[in-house]
Structure 1
Amino acid sequence: MFQPRSFSLLPPVIKNLLIINGLAYFASIVFAQMGLDLLAMFGLYLPQSPEFQPYQLVTHLFFHDLSNFSHIFGNMFALWMFGMSLENLWGSQRFFIYYFVTGLGAALCHLGVNMFEYYSYVNEYQVMGSLQAGQMAQMMLYIPTVGASGAVFGLLLGFGMTYPNQRIYLYFLMPVKAKYFVLVYGLFELFAGFSNSGSNIAHFAHIGGMLFGFLLLRYWKGQQFRR
């Protein structure tokens, strides 16, 4: 049975990630009361958007939806639950690299899918004269993406590959081996990504985090064999 260690024994990268995400969340609430939207400043926009800035590829990982507390709570709980064992095993430097590679990989996958959808709307507007398609394309330029979910799904994949037979208590009730949990969750995200077009959940970012996590772990394993 997998039981994460005491919260007081947090390794440094996870501890700092939890602090930064928490501070960003509360700062977003405070500044929102003053009329300043930090999510609009630091969330990730399509490269075609006038609001896009390169730094958003990193900053969007630290901000979460203010209207849904479960967004940040779920991500931070998963970061603690799955990340502690990985950072303690890999060391802080390798864990840091893994977290941000999967987070950036998730962002790139999300942008790639959204850009395809955006240009589909643009093409439909230009060829068919669809006003609705034109409005959808315009709207996509001004919707920021926020959250650490892509990196968290990378951690989930990493945990499943590193500790495949560890039992995770699903909803604290039913024990499931990590490898099966990761497989089912990954397939669910893939299905949801193709079937829920227009959803406000970035399913392909989740898939991207898992994909880049898998590739990075395979690369590291190959490097070990070469030695």
Structure 2
Amino acid sequence: MNLLEDLKYQFRQKENGLTKIILINVIVYLIDTILWVFSRGLENMSFFNLIYFNQHIPPIFADFLQRPWTLLTYFFSHDVPGPFHILGNMLGLYWFGRLITEYLGNRRLISLYILGGIAGAVIYLLLYNFVPYFIQHKPAIGMVGASASVFAITVAAATLLPEYYFHLVFIGPVKIKYIAAFFILISFIGSVGMNAGGNLAHLGGALLGYVFIKQLKKGRDLGKPISAISEFFNKLFTRRKIKVSYRSNEKNFSYEGDKEPDQKEIDAILDKISKSGYSSLTKREKERLFRASSKK
């Protein structure tokens, strides 16, 4: 199976949103980098600049109105040619995205990524157009990077599972709530530095991630509009399949007559995860959580 077939296979899968997001970011980065290399070699950067410029979200609101697509393109693009910007973002996305996928499901990961990017853009535009300090220090080209989306996912994971920890090299186990707090502090300090725009977007994404989980625990899913749009396009471009059902004799795998889990039950399970970890759940609680995640 060649590379193209591998990519097609990944994009056909339904429950691998994390892989798809990472692949889109990497593909966009590779295309931009290849264009940059050829443009430098030909000593003509005009085509590259046109493509790359139109991925950046501009700081001036009037310019943004002329390029509204940048509200989405900017958080799938990264600085070129250096790989460290995209590498850092994709590592953070992978580590914390796995937690969100495991506990909240594939759709909510995608919703967090998109809403976090949009929240970062809103904060970026508001401050650069209405706050005097930032009006005087507008960046020349605009902003790209998935950092706001990654911050949303990071803070969402830390809000949902504050006692969960990662083993960090040379440090040992560290609770993710402290990792998230460290990143937020660094971004706050940097909000008046050289990369002010990026750091402002980080804070916007972080705020979205926190609010998303708090609202989810109250029974409000802020990601429903994103999920609805995604489902619409999935149905539009997916061929209909004949659904075959059968009745199993095994009682453990039969959901017939079993009512859907309500939000109160799911909140209780999420609270148990937050206090005691995923391993403390019973088999039935895991099944109920998985069933709720697959339905929403």
SS of residue in 1 equivalent to 2:178: helix
Residues 44 and 52, structure 1, Cα contact 8 Å, conserved in 2: no
Of 12, 22, 28, the residue aligned with 1:18 is 22
Letter in 1 for 2:18: I
Residues 167 and 174, structure 2, Cα contact 8 Å, conserved in 1: yes
SS of residue in 2 equivalent to 1:175: strand
Q: Deviations over 1:76-122 (max 9, x none)?
A: 111111101211221212221121111110111112122235x6687
Letter in 2 for 1:177: K
Partners of 1:202 and 1:158 lie apart in 2 by 19
Q: Does 1:27 align with 2:31?
A: yes
How far residue 167 of structure 1 moved from its aligned partner, in angstroms, is 1.8
Match of 2:57 in 1: 44
Q: Does 1:94 align with 2:108?
A: yes
Change (3 A) 1:172 1:51: farther
> Using CA pairs below 8 Å that are at least 6 residues apart, which structure has the higher relative contact order?
1
How far residue 174 of structure 1 moved from its aligned partner, in angstroms, is 3.4
TM-score (norm 2): 0.61
Aligned residues with identical type, % of pairs: 24
Residues 45 and 52, structure 1, Cα contact 8 Å, conserved in 2: no
How far residue 200 of structure 1 moved from its aligned partner, in angstroms, is 5.8
Change (3 A) 1:42 1:181: same
Letter in 2 for 1:12: N
Q: Does 1:218 align with 2:222?
A: no
Q: Does 1:57 align with 2:71?
A: yes
Aligned length: 201
How far residue 45 of structure 1 moved from its aligned partner, in angstroms, is 0.7
Match of 1:191 in 2: 189
Q: Does 1:167 align with 2:171?
A: no
Residues 45 and 51, structure 1, Cα contact 8 Å, conserved in 2: no
Partners of 2:212 and 2:134 lie apart in 1 by 34
Q: Deviations over 1:159-212 (max 9, x none)?
A: 111221122234453321111222232123222214x2x436611111100101
Give unmatched runs, 5+ long, in structure 1.
1-7, 123-132
Letter in 1 for 2:56: G
Match of 1:3 in 2: none
Change (3 A) 1:172 1:153: farther
Change (3 A) 1:144 1:83: same
Match of 2:178 in 1: 180
Partners of 1:106 and 1:171 lie apart in 2 by 30
Match of 1:144 in 2: 142
